[in-house]
Structure 1
Amino acid sequence: MPFTRRQALGLGAVALARPALAQRGFPDKAIRMLVPWAPGGTTDVQMRAFCDAAGKRLGQPVVVENKAGAGGILGAQALLSERPDGYTLAQIPISVFRVPYMSQRPPFDPLADFTYVSHLTGYLFGVVVKADAPWADFPAFLADAKANPGKFNYGTPGVGTSLHITMEQIAGLRDITYVHVPFRGVAENMQALLGGQIHATADSSGWGPLVEEGRLRLLVTWGPDRAKRFPAVPTLKELGMDIVSTSPYGVAGPKGMDAGVVRALDAAFRAAVADPAHAAVLDRYDMPAMPMGPEEYTNFVRRTVEDESAMIRRMGLRL
C-alpha cells in the first residue's frame, strides 16, 4: 500500500480545514477511550491517569475500554464504524502506521481514515531476562543467540509493534536468528518470562518494578539516553547499534470530526498531559511528555507513515 500524493493532500486538507465552533454543550455525556492493550500494562496505566485528568477538564468522564490484541490496531479499527462526534476516541500506537503496509488487505488507511486530535507521550523500551538467566548484559545475549540460531525466543506485545520491529532490526544488524513470540500485553509477557516459557522480553517499562525487586535483569534500553531510574543500563546506541525506539503515540477519532470539537478535546488533553497525577505516572515509567496539537500531530503522522512504509519495504516485512 504505497504512500500517495492524494493521501498526503487529503490529510493536509483535514489539518487545514476551516475552523468551526464546537458542538453546543460538548461534551454532554461520557467519552469512550479505546485502549488497544490489556489492562494493567504501561499504556493502560498511563491512559487511565490521562483520561481521569482529561475528564476533570471536560466535565464528563473519559472511560477507558480495552481492546487488546492484533499488535495494537483494534482501537483504530473500531473507529472506522464510529460516528465522528468526539464521543469515541482511541489511543493510536505506531503499529497503526505500519500494519497497513505489511498487509495484503490493509484494514484501514492511516492517512485518510482518522482525525488526529492530540499527541501525548512515548515509551521507555528495553529487554529483560530473568534474574538467574546466564546473560549478564545484552552483548552476551546476542552472542549466545548468534551462536545458536533459532534456539532462543523473545516476547513482545504483538506482531508489527515497535518491540517486534526493533528486535528484528537488531537481528539483522548482528546476523542473528531468534524466535518472536507475540502476546496481548505486558502482563502476559511478564508471566511467560517468569514462568520460563520465553528467554527474554522486549517491552515497555512495565517491567520496571520487577527489575527493581531483583526478579528480572534489564539488559538494555532503547531511548536516546540512559533511563533515569536505571542509569547503569546502556542504550542500544552505546552498544554500537544506531537505533533509538520510543514509539510515540497520541489520540485520534473517526475521520470527519468537527474542528471545534477537536480543539476543545485538544485543550483538555494538553492540560491533562501536564496534570500532576498524570505527570507522576509518566515519571514512574520514564515516559517523556510529548504534547502536540492537531495540526502538528497530523504532520507528524504524515512523516511517520512515510518513514515506516519505507522501512517496511526495505526490510520486506509482511504479516
Structure 2
Amino acid sequence: MAAAAICAAAAPAATAAGDFPAKPIEFWIPFPPGGPTDGSLRTLLAAAGKELDQRVVPINKPGAGATLAAQVMSQTAAPNGYTLSMVAANIFRMPHLQKTPYDPLRDFTYIIGLTNYRYGLVVRADARWKTLEEFLAYARANPGKVTYGAVGIGSSGHISMEKLGRAAGAKFTFVPYKGGAEEMMALMGGDIDAVLDPGWGQFAVAGKVRPLAIVGDTRFARFKDVPTLKERGYDITASSLVGIVGPRGMDPAVVRKLHDAFFRAAQDPAYLRSLEAIDLEPVHLNSADYTRFAAEQFEREKRVVQQLDISLQ
C-alpha cells in the first residue's frame, strides 16, 4: 500500500513532465531589443521552438547590469519550465559587488551552457588613436577624459577596463549601458570614446569602428591583425559563458527535455551563423557541468572583486 501511494503521488509529476511543454515558454533576455545577443538568441529560440513543438517567446527585461531578468525570474516564476532566462558572468559577480535579492548557487536551475562572449576594445574609425599604445598614452596624459562604455556596472567589460587602467597607469570614465546596440550607437554618435565588450565585429567590418585590442587569449579569426592585450604586455582576459537557467526546484525530467531541445537547436545553421557574425564560438555544458561551473565561477568572481577592491554598495 505504501508503495502504491508513492507511485500514485509521483504519477502527476511524471505525467506533467511527459506532457511538457503544453503551452508557450517565456524566455527572458537581459538586454534591450536590437543588440547582437538579442538577435542571436531570437534565432536560437526559433529553432528551440521547433524542437519543443511550442513557441519559445523572447521577452526583453534589461537592467541591473544585465541581471534583472534572472533576478525577477528567481523571485516570481514557478519552477515548471515555462519561464527561463539567459545569464552570463554578471550573475555570479554582482553578489560580490552589492547586496542582491538572489543567490546564484541556490536560486537557479542550470539547464545548459551555450557559448562564450569574446571581448575587444574598440574606438570610432575616425578616432585619433590608431593603436592601443596611443590610446593609453592619451589616457595617461588626460586622466578621466577618455570615456568608455560597457553593458552594465560590474560587467566583464567594466571590470576588464578597470584592470587595464590600473595596469597601464591610466584613468578612464565609465558610462554604463543596458545593451550592446545602445552602447555602439553611443560610440558612433560621439557620446563616448571607446567600448570594451563583445558584438562589435559587424561594425568593424563596415569600417565604423577600429579595434585596438582583443581582450582574450587569442586573436579573432576575422581580425588577425588586432593584437591581444597579453601580446601588448597586459595580462588581462575576459570571457563570459552564456547559458540558460530556470527557477530553482525544477523537475529533472523537464530540465532534460529543455537541455536536449536547446542542445539540438544550437546546431541549427542559422544560429551558428549568428554566432559567427558576432565572433562567438559555440560551447556546450550540460546541466550537471553547468551547475558545477556556476559554483566555480562564483568563487572566481569573488577573488576578482577582492583583488580590484571595488564595491557598488
Common fold, TM-score beyond 0.5? yes
Give the letter for the 2:263 counterpart.
R
- 1:46 pairs with 2:5: no
Alignment check: 8 A CA contact 2:36 2:181 kept: no
Which position in structure 2 is the counterpart of 1:120? 114
CA distance in 2, matches of 1:274, 1:246: 22
- 1:305 pairs with 2:298: yes
1:63-102 Cα shifts (integer Å, max 9, x gaps): 1101112210011111121000000000011101011111
Give, in angstroms, the shift of residue 24 of structure 1.
2.7
Give SS of 1:90's match: strand
Give, in angstroms, the shift of residue 244 of structure 1.
2.0
Give the letter for the 1:314 counterpart.
Q
1:183-211 Cα shifts (integer Å, max 9, x gaps): 11122212211221111111212x22221
Q: 2:127 aligns with which of 125, 133, 142?
A: 133
Q: TM-score by structure 2 length?
A: 0.92
Alignment check: 8 A CA contact 2:116 2:242 kept: yes
Which position in structure 2 is the counterpart of 1:158? 152
- 1:102 pairs with 2:97: yes
Give, in angstroms, the shift of residue 21 of structure 1.
7.9
- 1:269 pairs with 2:262: yes
Which position in structure 1 is the counterpart of 2:190? 196
Cα gap change, 1:146 to 1:22, in 2 (>3 Å) = farther
Which position in structure 2 is the counterpart of 1:8? none
1:127-170 Cα shifts (integer Å, max 9, x gaps): 11111111001121111101211111101111011010111111
CA distance in 1, matches of 2:297, 2:70: 16
Identity of aligned residues (%): 43
1:21-41 Cα shifts (integer Å, max 9, x gaps): 861310011111100011111
Which position in structure 2 is the counterpart of 1:288? 281
Which position in structure 1 is the counterpart of 2:139? 145
Q: TM-score by structure 1 length?
A: 0.91
Q: Structure 2 matches for 1:36-75, cutoff 5 A? A: 36-75=30-69
Greater displacement, 55-64 / 220-229: 220-229
Which position in structure 1 is the counterpart of 2:253? 260
Gaps of 5+ in 2: 1-13
Which position in structure 1 is the counterpart of 2:105? 111
Give SS of 2:117's match: coil
CA distance in 2, matches of 1:250, 1:268: 14
Alignment check: 8 A CA contact 2:156 2:238 kept: yes
CA distance in 2, matches of 1:217, 1:311: 29
- 1:246 pairs with 2:217: no
Give, in angstroms, the shift of residue 60 of structure 1.
0.5
Give SS of 1:290's match: strand
Instruction: Report the aligned-residue RMSD.
Output: 1.5
